[in-house]
Structure 1
């Protein structure tokens, strides 16, 4: 039986889902990983058919060499770990099983480069600029306009995203990111960013974008042999002051067919303009009052994060994880089912403060609420949680709500039941 290799950087909920999708294609699944603690290896042994251990999973040559030592012709190499998608694609190139060029993913993990590509393709988006020193705040504010959003150039999960309204606030945001990012445990912030004319140091140079105004949406896009297919529109009606997502709905409660098509067109155009093929992308948009649907994020090479794949499967019958694995391996598309006949809600709950997670309580009580379909806890004991970053700790899928106000009330009710115990790190 042929073997597909699943590459992981750190522990993640996605590993079990991707391995299950690989097995569903009839292939074996071996995990490529850095050295594991015995307890974690014992847990993963129940999921995978073997291990390939390398010192650094971000080293494409080392990953390819280790896989080649196991088999001359792997069925494919796949990951859903945000920080290593480009290097895994490069390993696939070295092994002769690439489905999308690694260079494409290198560009898509550089948010400034993405802005430039989309603008060159004539797609609307916010004005943007890089800021590399606190002293540049005034000139960058003049170029981009205020209010604005400040974010890491290669960030994810809304990590250290800040909204600023004045030059002084922009300078303060620069100082904050320059202070905090070097302390991050996330390896992506400790290596240079490619994809542009010159490498960018992610702990010294940040992206500033003009603030868009309008409702927020997400569209997962599947691209197979040059044809882009949008899965569904997910509405984000509940967002807090940190820009963290609290609640989503699929399909949106009130969205015309015309507006749905406009969002689909913007998302698929962005995926194709970036050169994505035989892969997927999670595209986030704001339907700006002046620009119309404008792409704000393109997370390429993986489906939506957290329990959003569960949301999409409940709402549409499409398993985006299985679709992504099929695209990465070149296997036949998976069978699709039917979605529920009513909108499905997705509620997200975050720990407050920062520290190592000891335990989460209250999820059983939330599961007993009449509207709740499923509760998915993503985080694990010992994991470092911080309210600088949008870490989807507890995820609740629900149905039977009447409107956004009803969904917000359900979120408030569940929030009273869920309790996180953190230990200072």
Structure 2
């Protein structure tokens, strides 16, 4: 009998390893198809079968999956992120496997189209305009009113997203986005949006079921780098109901409802305003927080859906889990980083993760790539979890030597 395999399209240094682990735990052989498997260090470290293929070429992917089907029993096809999720849907349809609707995924991944569909459905969203060049960006910003948020119309992970408080910052960031520094996966289009202020919340959904709602802190402005995530969020019954109702409205408006969806909100005087809908699970460490808080392994349950098994989303317990991200405050060369073993030994700490090693160049980009690690803790109460987390983070330390500037010697500096 042929070995059952799970095809993973491309990878992710965040959720990618969790999908590999969950697949193996389910008795599946994970195979990653990637244009550049070397980008994902965990593939070699975890001895994952990886095949180089042009993942932007649907025909090439069909040929490779057909070749693999002659060797393995292909149980399902999926991916850890959303840039290739529409392609996953196309492959699933071609091979008659369970999968998402590719048309719905494509519409959702285009933030301008997503905004249009949500607006038509009466969902509260920021005021927005689409711009193709600097002149249109500036006129859109003036029309909406400063400050505004500029972001690529297609993108993920807060890459290229920035708050612009005046026209000089608008011009500067527009030059960055359109001047060749930002990597586009589609035609360059910039979304100019009203700066919506208020507490940040996120909902994780599987199918049409709201698994839970968390809260997050990000910054410092003008960027939106995640700093701390807490799950579940302390909400009143009315607040929970309003976020749930808006979430379900988003699913209907965008034609989603198969598999995972992650939605981000700002709570304003108008109530929950939708900042973004993503046709995927939120990235690491959100799945770990959900498992610690409720005992639900979202990635394992997603894989069950992908291979046609029944999932089980019922909560097994109730705790508060939180993650604090380690973010450097300067660029330079990482001399050393430590304290992870001491932090991990604190009761209630679930995981300490470093993404970097000594001698790594640190160049901050103003998005999730700035994270050099995180700490996760869980306990029966929010106050206790926060205390555990703070105690653990206080034990972690690092040193960064700033890059030398012309005529200046390098000098060490702490975090």
> TM-score higher than 0.5 here?
yes
How has the CA–CA distance of structure 1 residues 355 and 99 changed in structure 2, closer, same or farther, with 3 Å as cutoff? farther
Partner residue of 1:245?
226
Q: Secondary structure of the residue that 2:284 maps to in structure 1?
A: coil
Equivalent in the alignment of 1:65: 63
1:236, CA displacement in angstroms?
1.6
Q: Does 1:236 align with 2:216?
A: yes
Residue of structure 1 equivalent to 2:199: 215
Q: Does 1:191 align with 2:185?
A: yes
- Structure 2 equivalent of residue 56 of structure 1: 54
Equivalent residue, structure 2, for 1:195? none
| Pairing partner for 2:341 from 350, 359, 364 | 364
The answer for the alignment partner of 2:174 in structure 1 is: 174
What is the deviation of 1:2? 5.3
Q: Which residue in the other structure is 1:305 paired with?
A: 283
Map of 1:198 onto structure 2 = none
Task: Compute the TM-score of the two structures, normalised by the length of structure 1.
Answer: 0.82
Partners in 1 of 2:231 and 2:185 — Cα distance?
37
Corresponding residue SS for 2:393? helix
Deviations 1:234-281 (A, max 9, x none): 01246432222211222223x201111111121222123211132111
Q: Relative to structure 1, is the Cα distance of residues 83 and 103 closer, same or farther in structure 2, using a 3 angstrom cutoff?
A: same
Q: Counterparts of 1:74 and 1:401 in 2: how far apart (Å)?
A: 41
Q: 1:275 to 1:250 in 2, by over 3 A?
A: same
Q: How does 1:336-347 map to 2 (within 5 A)?
A: 338-341=316-319, 343-347=320-324
Contact kept, 8 Å, 2:10 with 2:32, in 1: the verdict is: no
1:327–1:372 Cα change, 3 Å: same
SS across alignment from 2:106? helix
The Cα offsets for residues 87-131 of structure 1, whole Å up to 9 and x where unpaired, read as: 222222222225222122111211111101111111110110122
Change (3 A) 1:281 1:378: farther
- Specify every segment of 5 or more residues in structure 2 that has no aligned partner in the other structure, as ranges: 404-415
TM superposition shift of 1:285: 0.7
Equivalent residue in structure 1 for 2:261, among 281, 284, 293 = 281
On the 8 A contact 2:321/2:385 being kept in 1, the answer is: no
Aligned ranges for residues 66-81 of structure 1 at < 5 Å? Answer: 66-71=64-69, 74-81=74-81
Q: 1:11 to 1:128 in 2, by over 3 A?
A: closer
From 386, 393, 402, the equivalent of 1:414 is 393
Residue aligned with 1:81, SS:
coil
Q: In structure 2, what is the Cα distance between the partners aligned to 1:409 and 1:41?
A: 32
Write out per-residue CA displacement over residues 135-176 of structure 1, whole angstroms, 9 at most, x where no aligned residue.
Answer: 234420243232211111122222232112333332222123
C-alpha distance 314-206 of structure 1, shift in aligned 2 (>3 A): same
CA distance change for structure 1 residues 333 and 413 in 2, over 3 Å: closer, same or farther? closer
Asked whether the equivalents of residues 201 and 213 of structure 2 are also in contact (C-alpha less than 8 Å), the reply is yes
Once residues 87 and 297 of structure 1 are traced to their aligned partners in structure 2, the CA distance between those partners, rounded to angstroms, is 21
- 3-state DSSP of counterpart to 2:309: coil
Classify the secondary structure of the residue corresponding to 2:74: coil
Change (3 A) 1:63 1:379: farther
Spell out the pairing of 1:346-425 with structure 2 (5 A cutoff): 346-354=323-331, 360-369=337-346, 372-378=349-355, 386-391=364-369, 392-399=371-378, 407=386, 410-411=389-390, 414=393, 417-419=396-398
What whole-Å deviation, never above 9, does each CA across 1:26-51 have from its counterpart, x for those lacking one? 43332223465699764342xx4x44
Structure 1: 5+ residue runs without aligned partners?
Answer: 193-200
SS of the residue aligned with 1:386? coil
* Map of 1:314 onto structure 2: 292
More displaced stretch, 356-365 vs 66-75? 356-365
After superposition, the CA RMSD in angstroms is 3.3
Equivalent in the alignment of 1:268: 248
Structure 1 pair 3/370, CA: closer, same or farther in 2 (3 Å)? closer
The yes-or-no answer on 1:22 pairing with 2:27 is no
Q: How far is the alpha carbon of 1:20 from its aligned partner? A: 2.8
Task: Kindly provide the CA deviation profile for residues 333-373 of structure 1, in whole angstroms up to 9, marking residues without a partner as x.
Answer: 147552344x2222111234457878642322332445533
In the alignment, the residues of structure 2 paired with residue 274 and residue 389 of structure 1 have an alpha-carbon distance, to the nearest angstrom, of 26
